[in-house]
Structure 1
């Protein structure tokens, strides 16, 4: 017989329920000071449970109220990540520089390139906003805006 089956046989031989002697409950109750020595020990258990129930309900209610308070409180506006702030600053500077260039008719052969650069810049900005840890995108945005300004300046000089 292996060790597990021997242990199982011994466990099956143990009595199913064991209750401590009556005097043990009386001794415990007298030490706690909750039940007088002359009252039966069986009366002490429901009294203790009855005292715990309101405290448990009060604790549960306070947890529910705390969770509700946190969940319903408006969240403070989150500040965008630093990379997003830098990208938006570059975007603002680009728009100012573009507005400062003299207005000129853009030659037809440059219009598709300018449109492609504008679409690329918008896609890079969207990528930075969705993945603000991608630092390399900031360099791509700067180069795209620099190329766009350069072509616009060439078109203005005509």
Structure 2
């Protein structure tokens, strides 16, 4: 089998539809985790994923779901590659992904902090961000828990409409 450009585009479209296991309203493409999809001359598909952080417990599910979809579409050989450099940031979330987060009651992150090349410093104590309520739009909000259902989210509450909501942290 000689792969064509159409095979590469089809493989990409299929991989792009894989949902994120922790934020299922988003695809891996919306989240910016799907970095690339290539088909070589023999028809082998290689999909590249960058985890949201190096210890992300959902990577096994992400790899399995992308592979499952590609195999189901008839691609005989699938490889899933993990790429850590450059590291993922919340800036890679697409505008559609940000819209879907807000639509599902999760405040999308603002711009990621900029760092010099090398290890990313972990800041344990910072001024709280200004977080807009996804229900009513108020910025009169407060953090109630630094962690929520996953390490990348925090639990917040709106003082105006009194609704709790999750906030996806900037990374």
Pair in the same fold by TM > 0.5: no
- Relative to its length, the structure with more helix (as a share) is 1
Larger radius of gyration: 1
Of structures 1 and 2, the one scoring higher in RCO (CA 8 A, sep 6+) is: 1
- Relative to its length, the structure with more strand (as a share) is 2
TM score, norm. by length of structure 2: 0.21
